[in-house]
Amino acid sequence: MNAIIEKIKNSQYGVYYQYPDGNGGPKYFNPKEHLTPLKVTREVVLDSQDSVILKLNILNNSSKRLRINAAVVSEFLWDIDPKLVEKVLVNGWVQSSSSQYVQGNIKPSKKKKLFLLRDQNPYSWREDFGYLRNSSISEWYTQVCLRDVCLLAGAITIEKQFCQFYVKDQKDSILVRSTAQFDGITLVPGESIQTEEILFLIGDQQETLSRYAQHIKERLVSIPVGRPIKGVCCSYYAQGNRVDYKYIERTVNKLDEIVQDDKKKDVVIGIDAGYSKWGDWLIPSKKFGSTIEEAAKLIKAHGYIPGIWISPFVVMKESKLYKEHSDWFIRLNGKPLESRQTSPIDFLPLLSLYVLDITKEEVRESIREVIRKFKEYGYDFIKIDFLYPSCFSQAYSKNVTRAQAIRMGVASIREAAGDDALIMSAISHLSPIVGLVNYARTGLDTSNPFVYGLPVLSKKVNEEMLSSNITNFDSRSFYDEQIWINDIDALVVNPSAKISQKLIDDHFQRIMKSKARWIGDDISKLNDKLIDKYIKPILNE
């Protein structure tokens, strides 16, 4: 038996809880000290020479209701010199969060305070949820690598909680804590709950990653991963949130000049944000110039796959949906929850978005109705975006965790679309949607079209975004084609984006190896040289 695996099996565990009235404040329960108010047992799901899978069973053994914040599934000291660590895989909360190997000694994570708060789990920084000060924080999984061996730790079930891995340099050893967040859900007397199953695995870097992905696939993936597709986005990366029927028509006609007839069946023409107010998905704006049903007919008539974008869980406050159903939304202190969490000015009218309470059945049925209409119109590809805001609060109408809530919402979309639909996630948490989508973005947007052409800023912003996107894609490549098709987002060659030739080519090379290839530019405006070098290979090879 590997010594570290034996140590993990005998490691500490416990639960952070409190009484609903807050009396006495948050407490930490150690099952080795006493049996009330909780009965906590740890189950060894799998035990082998180089791996162990653990989970906790938690029973409210008292006569009072309890709020469960988080559980520590395992906490142990790895008796090695921290200087022997060569790199640590640090994986962020959302697809846009950083995921990369941090080289050298273990480095404490830095908390975001003003910008891109969406990229960090707010509860992972709370000590009453298990936060370990001055530690490196990873969500879903991590990997600590020495010169010739790695320790991988990760959740292999994901339906119920977000899971964290805190790794801390103790000067003469390494402290590793794994937690599962219950988000303060209420446990009534006699009620029990379980944590996710956590895998600890010792071995080679690539081997442990591959085995970890296989564990997840075996437990959670019942639908096929996505089939190979090529697509053209209409038209965020070309002109922001503005798309109309004429743009789609122009794109279709240009594609007819480029795409070989036998390749058309795999080409998606995706209608991006801008065809309607967010929330009123079946009511196109006047500027769109047609109906979304007619747009689907046009795309299909030319032999392509109609695709459509939707942010199912957030809406504009000017939308008909919000005006007619203001009671469907998450509220904090009586006010609708603002969704973006990207900057201090998200509340401004042009940016403000409100978050639906997806634990309400009437909300999910409303979403299902939209998805069923999309399918009826012929949209076989559906891109679901802005899923992450539903997890910035646990103020739901039902007693569920944030991971359960987002999975509940995405499961409703899959139910309405059917197993034959091609569904891709964009800005979203990744772990709770495994087994529900065919494709998933694994990094940032390729670029920001709202800074195109701006001196200095355009190059700086867009190159940083694309570099981060590529890093995340590479880091998360070990589960590509295992749990879904990883999407590296659309190629942008527009000179106004000011992206270097090297970065464009790095992006292009990865796209050509992928089973999800997207083009972001207005192809009707690209010159023949760019068409021949990039667009034809993506669509025809």
Same domain, 185 and 235: no
Q: How far apart are CA 162 and CA 159, in angstroms?
A: 9
**Same domain (yes/no): 241, 297:** yes
Segments forming the whole domain that contains residue 377? 229-312+364-392+402-540
Give helix 361-377 / helix 292-301 axis angle, nearest 10°.
40
* Residue 324 in domain: no
The answer to whether residue 88 is domain-embedded is yes
Q: How many domains does the structure of the chain reveal? A: 2
Beta partners for 440?
425, 486
Please check whether residue 28 lies inside any domain of the structure.
yes
Residues 287 and 418 in one domain: yes
User: Are 188 and 83 within 8 A, CB to CB?
Assistant: no
pLDDT tens for each residue of 239-272 = 999 999 999 999 999 999 999 999 999 999 999 9
Q: What is the pLDDT of residues 174-195, one digit of tens each?
A: 999 999 999 999 999 999 999 9
328 within some domain? no
The per-residue pLDDT for 28 is 76
Mean per-residue pLDDT of the chain: 95
- Select from 529, 520, 539, 538 the least CA-distant residue to 234: 520
Are residues 142 and 277 both part of a single domain?
A: no
> Sorting pLDDT into bands at 50, 70 and 90, what band is 23?
low
Q: How far is it, in rounded angstroms, from Cα 52 to Cα 232?
A: 44
What CATH number is associated with residue 29? 2.70.98
Q: Which of 220, 238, 261 is the last residue of a domain?
A: 220
Q: Which pLDDT score is estimated for 25?
A: 63
Taking the alpha carbons at both ends of the chain, their separation in whole angstroms is: 49
- pLDDT (mean) for 454-475: 96
88 plus 115 within the same structural domain = yes
> Which range (66-70, 307-311, 343-347, 486-490) has the least confidence?
343-347
414-435 pLDDT, tens digit per residue, is: 999 999 999 999 999 999 999 9
318 within domain boundaries: no
Q: Does 516 have pLDDT greater than 70?
A: yes
